[in-house]
Amino acid sequence: MLKKSNTRRGGILKTVLIIVAILIILGYFGFNLRTIVASPTVHDNLVYVWELIKTGWNDYLKAPFNYLWNNFWMPYIWNPFIDTLIRMQGGGPAVPIDTAPQLPVR
């Protein structure tokens, strides 16, 4: 039995409309985003969060990401993809005949 999923409908248009509605509501209640963002406290908070993000990336995420990028993504996904595109651009098959799986002969 297949179940139709209705999650995440509307995409980017829905997100833009929600953001516009929030901005209208904030303006209606007298909040000025320019003054809020320009305040020294908010500026300090944003700088602090940015420093946390940079520290998290450099100290914890960069090494595993580079390992996965160099040892998994590039050799097993990106390079074969580019090789296939080049082969197809030259008029060849997407999968070379000698590497394609063969059906057993009875």
Q: What is the pLDDT of residues 49-81, one digit of tens each?
A: 999 999 999 999 999 999 999 999 999 999 999
Question: Looking at residue 7, what is its pLDDT?
Answer: 58
**Cβ pair 54, 61 in contact under 8 A:** no
Euclidean distance between CA atoms 18 and 20, whole angstroms: 5
